[in-house]
């Protein structure tokens, strides 16, 4: 099977390009809301409207062998992911699209670090150097001391950290339940987790705002589906480098539609982080293990 997958790199690259376009569309649509709907409420409505896509998964969810331990893990993941999603929506109202995209590349790096503490992974010198390079890329993007940091930057750093914890929790119980259950439980628990946050800042959205958020849910769902097709067609070491296009598209959309000038420091920092992630992914493939996720596996 692996040989067959490796022989379809073109198909995998195509679906990863489509995946990147879907997630860039998610980012652009959230940016288009312009803060009219508070971040926590926008995040809640995105997940609430997205529950319609879980209807085909309901039979698998009903048959899932849920234990008290799994309920606790799913609940913990829902809380952590809810915080991450809320911070991501907040960051989108504060900083340029390109900076959100570039800082999101830190997700797999955080996962690699946390895997040492939670999964007993060991870090060889090469992977430690790659992590240091990724963190240097983040410094290039943020440039502390050379410009004033916005709360949105701090929110994105927190988002990447929260999503990495969410991924590791999913890694723990993914061997006990199937993927449909993992996706369904995340959607349900995050919707519940965001509800009280949304209630505290609630404003009545317009039909136009609801339409945008439903499109966000559609593109996010489509992106996760095409990502699955990409992974089925080619190894992650082939598809991972394609994610750099997402930064290119984010810069273009930010400049064309939101008046955000292209920042060479952000592009350079994003390239450094992504290069480190690609190296870590390649090393894990060589060692025949799979801990670091694709950049999209920790997405909202």
pLDDT digits (tens, 9 = 90+) for 56-81: 888 877 887 888 888 999 999 999 99
What's phi and psi for 144, nearest 5 deg? -60, 140
- pLDDT of 100 reads 92
pTM for the model stands at 0.85
**Rama region for 66: left / alpha / beta (φ>0; ψ in -120 to 50; rest):** beta
Query: Facing residues of 10 across strands?
Result: none
In the chain the beta strands, taken as DSSP E runs, fall at: none
Who contacts 101 (Cβ-Cβ below 8 Å, separation ≥6)?
A: 24, 27, 246, 247, 250, 270
Question: Which two tokens mark 205?
Answer: 């959205």
- pLDDT of 299 reads 61
- pLDDT of 6 reads 46
Nearest to 30 by CA among 102, 82, 78, 91: 91
| Mean pLDDT for the stretch of residues 10-25 | 88
Nearest to 88 by CA among 72, 75, 77, 104: 104
Transcribe 17-59 into DSSP letters: HHHHHHHHHHHHHHHHTTTSS-HHHHHHHHHHHHGGGGGGGHH
pLDDT digits (tens, 9 = 90+) for 182-239: 888 889 999 999 999 999 999 999 999 999 999 999 998 888 888 878 877 877 767 7
User: To 10 degrees, the CA torsion angle through 264, 269, 274, 276?
Assistant: 140
CA 165 to chain centre: 12
Calpha distance 146→168 (Å, rounded): 34
| Contact in structure between 27 and 250 (CB atoms under 8 Å) | yes
């Amino acid at each position: 099977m692996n040989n067959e997958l490796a022989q379809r790199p073109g198909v995998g690259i195509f679906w990863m390009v489509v995946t990147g376009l879907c997630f860039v569309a998610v980012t652009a649509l959230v940016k288009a809301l312009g803060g009219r709907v508070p971040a926590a409420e926008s995040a809640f409505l995105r997940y609430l409207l997205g529950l319609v896509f879980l209807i085909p998964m309901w039979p698998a969810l009903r048959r899932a062998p849920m234990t008290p331990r799994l309920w606790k893990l799913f609940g913990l993941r829902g809380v952590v992911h809810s915080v991450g999603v809320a911070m991501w929506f907040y960051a989108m109202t504060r900083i340029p699209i390109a900076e959100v995209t570039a800082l999101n590349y830190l997700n797999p790096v955080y996962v690699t670090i946390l895997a040492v503490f939670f999964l007993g992974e060991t870090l060889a010198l090469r992977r430690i150097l790659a992590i240091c390079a990724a963190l240097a890329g983040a410094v290039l993007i943020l440039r502390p001391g050379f410009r004033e940091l916005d709360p949105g930057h701090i929110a994105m750093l927190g988002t990447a950290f929260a999503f990495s914890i969410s991924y590791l929790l999913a890694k723990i119980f993914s061997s006990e339940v199937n993927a449909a259950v993992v996706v369904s439980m995340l959607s349900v628990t995050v919707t519940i987790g965001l509800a009280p946050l949304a209630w505290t800042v609630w404003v009545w959205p317009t039909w136009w705002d609801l339409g945008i958020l439903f499109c966000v849910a559609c593109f996010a769902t489509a992106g996760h589906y095409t990502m699955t097709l990409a992974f089925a067609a080619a190894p992650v070491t082939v598809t991972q480098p394609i994610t750099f296009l997402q930064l290119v598209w984010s810069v273009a959309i930010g400049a064309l539609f939101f008046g955000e000038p292209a920042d060479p420091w952000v592009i350079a920092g994003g390239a450094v982080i992504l290069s480190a992630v690609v190296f870590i992914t390649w090393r894990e493939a060589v060692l025949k293990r799979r801990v670091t996720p694709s950049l999209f596996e920790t997405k909202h």
